Amino acid sequence: MELSAKTKIDDLLRKYPFLMDYFISKSPKFKMLESSVMRKTVAKVAPLAHVASIGGIEIGTLLSEIAAVIREKTGEEVVVAGAGPVAGVEADRQEILKGIIKDLHKGVDMPVLKQRFHELIRDIDPSEIAKMEQRLIEEGMPESEIKRLCDVHVEVFRESLSQQEAPTVPPGHPIHTFMKENRAAEDIIREMTGIMETLCDSPDKEVFKQHSEKLAGLVARLSEINLHYLRKENQLFPILEQHNISGPSEVMWALHDDIRQMFKYAGEQIAGLQVPLVYGTLKYLLKSVNDMIYKEEHILFPMAKEMLSDSDWEKVKRGEEEVGYAWIRPDTGWMPQVEVPPAEKSLTGTFPFDTGHLTVEQADLILKHLPLDLSFVNEDDEVVYYSRGKERIFPRSPGVIGRKVQNCHPPKSYHVVQKILDEFRAGTKDVANFWIQMKGKFILIKYYAVRDAKGNYRGTLEVSQDVTEIRKLEGQKRLLDWE
């Protein structure tokens, strides 16, 4: 047996299944190797160099320890080969990847691209793919083009994934609810597809206009899938991150944002009768939603079912109602025993503040009744509180508590969030102001650095407020004018 940095983890575990215990003992991040979905996808192409990087272990040490375990268990002699990468090929690989992306944009058949991508990833660390993708972005290739590679990734593994049955869970389980929404989405997609087949890409605006109202209504209905995505982002992803599984949140959130943008474009183009442009947008939108359903049910949900405990799923379910559901109501059935979270227990004792004293219940009621969305991030960048008002501007649910705030924002804004926190922590800035227009409302968003009496950074307070009506105020209205 010869071991090297290029040895695939899946090949190793199939030949020496007892190594699973060794990997898990080295790092909790390796627990994901127990997932059959991970074994069928990433592990099939992931070399030990990538595994060492994930676990924060020096590759030479990892190879030596694996060899020692194999010798001890089997008596087999193991040779450890050099761990260095093959020199002189990185530029060629980057050109291959660039060519795949360009041909994907040109519409080259997926089987051709799938084969080329499979050859590319056969002998390299998947993290090298990410590095090459980053370099292509730095060279000026739009990030949107890079993200389309996600489809090629899935196609490479589609054959093995398609043999896998959809996860079976009892009614009421979060996965059951997600999949029930997917079936509802597919019904809407079929109806939209039928209309588009009738139109047959007709460039005649009058022909399109006859169906535009129906299409606009269906696009609006399908856009309710945003609630489905929000529950993934705010409830499921944080729990996966606690198990050191961050890939889905990084990749899928970016794809969610792309789909959200497509809904906006589709609505505008239908209203403006922008034919034939609207046909391409609608086809891309429907394909993107369908592809996301496939990725959820063949990768995300099976992996999550394997990796998460009933206790984890209870946490996912606990905040679902706050975010909401797309088109459906969850079935009854699965319902683990739930203790009332400590924050929701009413305490009678009072706590002294600088300017008075309040019970926990009074303080909670005050924060709930403020016409603001409040979120507090501690000095370790963890979300530890959010206000639960009647109408939040931005969705929050219990799954966010304890989550790194950087992971609570779309990947494309990660660097901005980090910069704000760095400035606050360094003491160079105390406030960051932003404002956006959303659903006819003008929203003011302010971040405040929170410091103690000695000036030490203790966290960040986020305050969001609908100031639409405030901006309209003129003149004055005194107390005595109240009716």
Among all chains, which residue has been given the structure tokens 């215990």? 21
What value does the mean pLDDT take over residues 101-106? Answer: 69
Nearest to 33 by CA among 306, 312, 313: 306
For residue 390, give both structure tokens.
Answer: 């009647």
pTM given for the model = 0.63
Phi, psi values for residue 266, rounded to 5°: -60, -45
pLDDT band per the 50, 70, 90 thresholds, residue 444: very high
Give the dihedral sign, CA 405/407/410/412.
positive
Distance CA 230, CA 389 (A): 18
Write out pLDDT tens, residues 358-396: 888 888 888 888 989 999 999 999 999 998 877 778 877
- For position 195, what pLDDT does the model report? 96
Report which of residues 117 and 160 the model is more confident about: 117
Distance CA 251, CA 84 (A): 29
- Mean pLDDT across the chain: 81
- For position 450, what pLDDT does the model report? 95
- For position 188, what pLDDT does the model report? 97
What value does the mean pLDDT take over residues 276-286? Answer: 93
Write out pLDDT tens, residues 3-20: 887 788 888 888 888 988
Phi, psi values for residue 385, rounded to 5°: -160, 145
pLDDT band per the 50, 70, 90 thresholds, residue 75: confident
**What 3 state SS string does the chain have?**
CEECCCCEHHHHHHHCCCHHHHHHHHCHHHHHHHCHHHHHCHHHHCEHHHHHHHHCCCHHHHHHHHHHHHHHHHCCCCEECCCCCCCCCHHHHHHHHHHHHHHHHHCCCHHHHHHHHHHHHCCCCHHHHHHHHHHHHHCCCCHHHHHCHHHHHHHHHHHHHHCCCCCCCCCCCHHHHHHHHHHHHHHHHHHHHHHHHHHCCCCCHHHHHHHHHHHHHHHHHHCCHHHHHHHHHHHHHHHHHHCCCCHHHHHHHHHHHHHHHHHHHHHHHHHCCCCCHHHHHHHHHHHHHHHHHHHHHHHHHHHHHHHCCHHHHHHHHHCHHHHCCCCCCCCCCCCCCCCCCHHHCCCCCEEEECCEEEEHHHHHHHHHHCCCEEEEEECCCEEEEECCCCCCCCCCCHHHCCCEHHHHCCHHHHHHHHHHHHHHHHCCCCEEEEEEEECCEEEEEEEEEEECCCCCEEEEEEEEEECHHHHHCCCCCCHHHCC
Ranking 65-69, 265-269, 408-412, 461-465 by mean pLDDT, the lowest is 408-412
Rounded to 5°, the CA angle 130-134-139 comes to 145
Distance CA 170, CA 174 (A): 9
**Whole-angstrom Cα Rg for the chain:** 26
Distance CA 215, CA 271 (A): 10
For residue 83, give both structure tokens.
Answer: 């761990």
Write out pLDDT tens, residues 130-153: 455 556 656 666 655 666 666 665
Cis, peptide link before residue 276, omega less than 30° from 0: yes
Q: Has residue 430 got a pLDDT over 70?
A: yes
Q: Has residue 410 got a pLDDT over 90?
A: no
Across 14-23, 46-55, 183-192, 348-357, the highest mean pLDDT is recorded for 183-192
Ranking 17-26, 158-167, 310-319 by mean pLDDT, the lowest is 158-167
How far, in Å, are 108, 124, 135 from residue 252 at the CA level?
24, 24, 21
Q: Are 234 and 319 in contact (CB under 8 A)?
A: yes
